[in-house]
Amino acid sequence: MSAHGDKFKFHEFKQAYNFLNSENFTKIYDIFNDEKYKDTTGEEKCKIIKKELSVPNDDEELILKFCNNLYKIIADYNNWNNVYFEQISQDNKNYCIHLKYWLYEETGNHDMMGFDISEDFQKWKDKLEEELNNNKKYPCTFNKLSWTERDKMRNIYAFVLIYYRNVKKFHQNKYIICKYLDYMGKGLKEYYDSLIKCSKKVGQDNYCEEFNEFQKTYMGDNIQVSTSEDNLDYKFEDTETVNCPLEIESLEYPLHLIYKKGKSRWHLNYQTIGSLNSSIISASSAIGTTVGISAFLLFLYKHTSFGSLFRTRMQKDNMILDDINEGTQSLILPTSYYESLPFENSDYNVTYYSLNNS
């Protein structure tokens, strides 16, 4: 894949692997991407407003397609026309994220390198709603993002919308070539990095506003992401289909996903990854505070009366260290709660972020 942005195209992925064809993401993506779904009324309205607006990077075809897709969403939202989305069991407000993914993929794969998401896209939305004379504004904001910020959000959207929300199907369908799983796995890394960046910012920039909105909508409070270092310097070939960068370590009890790059590992699960050999750094995403807990303190926490006092204090500080061996439930994505099993017998340095937003 390209060093300047990844030329991942979901259209190509679904042609190679059809197991997601019945999912909402695929259906919505097709409505946005396939010319046969072009709306004639939307086409007319978009050509009218074009006379008063700038065309991003002089790509008239792209902006008119974007405008047409916006019209289809707005028409459905206002109950003027729901013919395109009538078979989709999803809240109309979530179409905004799907349209952003489509837009970020189109601009990311554009012939012009460094295609930013400028304020022009929001101006087209505002002008279209003005032309339609609808007082019920569609709740979707197209933030101004640099092309590097766009690529990060695109990675996160791909990981969550395509992979994470369909993880059972990925588990059932083996032998997907590694280049696709590497692209989606990068979204887990970017998700972790964005949690740290956006939890520490006092004044939120456009990127963090978009990330935080997405995280609250699509990811549950009990999800935890962490990093570790391995002695193995992991490498792979794009066309390989085994031992790929993004793997499902366990599907249930608990869910545990891992993305590998070199000696670095990124984990997603539902409870703390930890053992008595681990050095754990715990952080609440709400306040970005970190606390180091030694193996000795973890032993006291789990096996002595000191643990009850310690747990009470941690709860007051909005930090949760879950008992590793309590409770089991089946996998229900995306907000279920799972038993956490010991991770591995290897030594790890783990950095852990909890998504408890309470």
- SS3 of 170-195: the string is HHHCCCCCHHHHHHHHHHHHHHHHHH
Q: CA-to-CA distance for 166 and 63, rounded, in angstroms?
A: 30
Predicted local confidence at residue 112, as pLDDT:
76
Cβ-in-10-Å burial (0-12, 13-18, 19+) of 267 comes to buried
Task: Judge if the upstream peptide bond of residue 254 is cis by omega within 30 degrees of 0.
Answer: yes
In sequence order, the 6+-apart residues with CB closer than 8 A to the CB of 23 are 166, 169
Instruction: Report the C-alpha gap between 334 and 257 in whole angstroms.
Output: 13
Q: What is the maximal distance between C-alpha atoms in the chain? A: 73
Number of Cβ within 10 Å of residue 76's Cβ equals: 19
The domain segmentation of the chain, as residue ranges, is 10-144, 153-354
Is 31 buried (19+), middle (13-18) or exposed (0-12) by CB count in 10 A? Answer: buried
Instruction: Count CA atoms within 13 Å of residue 285 on its CB side.
Output: 28
Q: What is the pLDDT of residue 116?
A: 93
Per-residue confidence (pLDDT) for residue 113, from 0 to 100: 78
Positions of the chain with pLDDT lower than 50, given as ranges: 1-5, 273-348, 357-358
Q: What is the pLDDT of residue 248?
A: 96
| Angle in degrees, CA 33, 36, 40, rounded to 5 | 105
